[in-house]
Structure 1
Amino acid sequence: MIGTPPGGFAGPVKRSVTIAGHQTSISLEPAFWDALESAAMAHALPLNALVAQVDALRITAADPPNLASALRTWLLYLAIDAQ
């Protein structure tokens, strides 16, 4: 049997970040924002810098996903690698 995630289910929250001097909005669920902030702290980077690094990796893909999808995927693989 599966259960409800801690804190329940929540829809996306839009936040602004600055990448290469330009502001952009990203919509992520609160759990992903929390994970992204934790990852930034673990890498000793400001949140904007971490997002910029993931964005730089994303745009090298043959068919780049949108930034929110790239962040979710990066965080998922980060969590899997930690296990």
Structure 2
Amino acid sequence: MADKLHVSLVTPEKELFAGDVDQVIAPGSEGEFGVLAGHAPLMTTLTEGTVTILNGDQKRMFQVIGGFADVNAEGITILAERAEEYVETVH
């Protein structure tokens, strides 16, 4: 089994997501970036955009506005000023 990346996505109000996943894609201030397990340490500010969390064939997407992302040996923590999960609707 491949290594998993621990991710925690939090706002000042609550934790929106926590778990072990395959990959996270986030809107950094220097551009969009992806993180896999074993990624080099990194800290960056976030811009408005989409955080995508991929695990197998599952994909969850969150609209974020501002904040920080911290990647370290334990995984990635995203501290968003505001965030909301996209909810797919069926017409």
When normalised by structure 2's length, the TM-score is: 0.25
Greater fraction of residues in helix: 1
Structure richer in strand, relative to its length: 2
User: Which one has more relative contact order, counting CA pairs under 8 Å at least 6 apart?
Assistant: 2
TM-score, reference length from structure 1: 0.27
Larger Rg: 1
